[in-house]
A and B are shown apart, each in its own frame.
Chain A
Amino acid sequence: MAKTKNKKTDSKEPEHQRNEGIPLDMDYIRGVNINRSAVERRAATIGTRRSVKKEWQAAWLLRAVTCLDLTTLAGDDTPGNVQRLCAKAKQPVRQDLLKAMGMENMGITTGAVCVYHNLIKDAKKALIGSAIPIAAVSTAFPAGLIPLEERLRQIKLSVAAGAKEIDIVIHRAQVLTGDWEGLYSEMKQMRQACGAAHMKTILATGELSTLTNIAKASHVCMMAGADFIKTSTGKESENATLPVSLTMLRAIRAYQEYTGYKVGFKPAGGIRTAKQALSWLMLIKEELGDEWLNNKMFRFGASSLLADIERQLEHFVTGRYSASYRHPMA
């Protein structure tokens, strides 16, 4: 029987230390400069310099499952499909496959479920008995273009409704016009509104134009206390890409070197295959290290990724290429 190589150690991982933020350091922000072509070159070789095979790959994919923010963010979401999503989150991989890999008692679930505010209560009900946190998108997701007071109120409502994580969107205009003070101030107020809930800041990188803007926005949001920085809403025309992720990871590393705080990372949108997921995990291992390779520090924002991972896991177990209908849908 195929066994995965790595022991699952999520339960022993320390709780995510909150990022308390620091005063806005404009000198630092002004010095940030990213060379796109060099970043692209590095990103392009991540998947070719590294490779994981066989039981190592299965272990990596299971880790990816535990780092999933299983997501539905559609206008036609109903309690019904959210319940289905939550059920899948609790049992993301077919039991027989887990058993074949000797992982059936490791409590493998996704990292969180991610829904709109109105569906928090349904998700909460569906997740009773599990420790899976609910992440809610707030602050007028995905564009965020309503008054700040309203956005802060939304955060508070979502937290009150039971969301443990709040995925907020930034006001892109503040980046595009260089209003870093404004961005910092809004983020700080949002972080306060989150209270005990973790704040995951969506930069909507596809709308920030340059990697330098993305890096600067990452730094400002981290200085303001973001617990996670996240690439995209999934609604922009360009979603998570490796060069963008590399830029944000390097910002996270620099921020940690500068302040000691470890900030989490969440690429979202466009990650649909197990192979892509592995590239992201490799990128994180190479740029930040193993400390980031768990769901306290890293999440995938994805809806269809899980289905592909399951198929690859079945292939690992049986040696046969799998079909998606063989795996329960979310």
Chain B
Amino acid sequence: MFDTLFFNLLLNGLAHGMLIFLIASGLSLIFGLMRVVNFTHGSFFMFGAYVGRSIFLATDSFVLAILGGLLFGFVCGALVERIAIRPFFGNRVQLLLLTLGMMLVMNELVKIIWGPTILRFPRPDYFIGSFMLGDIILPYYRMFIVGFGLAVLVVVYLFLNKTRLGIIIRAGVEDSDMVQSFGINIKQVFTFTFALGVSLASVGGAISGPFLGVYPEIAMDNILVAIIAVVVGGIGSFGGSVAGSLLIGLISSFGGFYLPQAAMAFNVILMALVLLIRPQGLFGKGGLASGR
């Protein structure tokens, strides 16, 4: 049972789960705060991968690639929120259709800029090779993804719980009108949260490159999986997005190995079960699912 294969699948699932978490956490925060389903999130993940790769190939510095992905996501996220989301605020269906359209345009745009084929994102030299634990082989790069994801998780958790802005965001998830009436400019908080969420997805893309490869379909594949993770974990709940993502990552990894064709079906069945038994998600608060 606990052989090399098991630990490999475990590490693989955790690494995948962390990448999903980087998309899902932003998606969940944005929906919780602004009630916007941001379909462009997967596209920013994809753009992050392309931008990160370009920076890495140009500068040969992986740190710069990560920072570039982060900055790119933050700037683009803020721009998209100001230009495309804010004018339509309050009209949920229109926003849903709008982000869907932007997703299509972005997914095509990437093919025009970088071409439709899979591009190789070489691993930085110091992540080549594997860590040997007895006869268990653990690739460095996957361990790095898990570590990076954990670091982001801790930072975002501390940000949401210990800083003033983070507490405002969490209060906004509960009731944004109330926050506004306390004299806080909730619109600026919206822009910041959107930019933050998008930059998390984008940096996730940048670090996913050497692991998954860089190609246009990662946008669509990952947005679907991330939405499932968010729904399973509970929309608007940070802890929920962590749990949902890791669960989905592990299920994909183990399910994908033992029953490759059915891996997606497992996720879907899990989501259907959660929605039937606990519509608000594992960690979500009641009311959202039936009210909206």
A and B co-occur in one complex: no
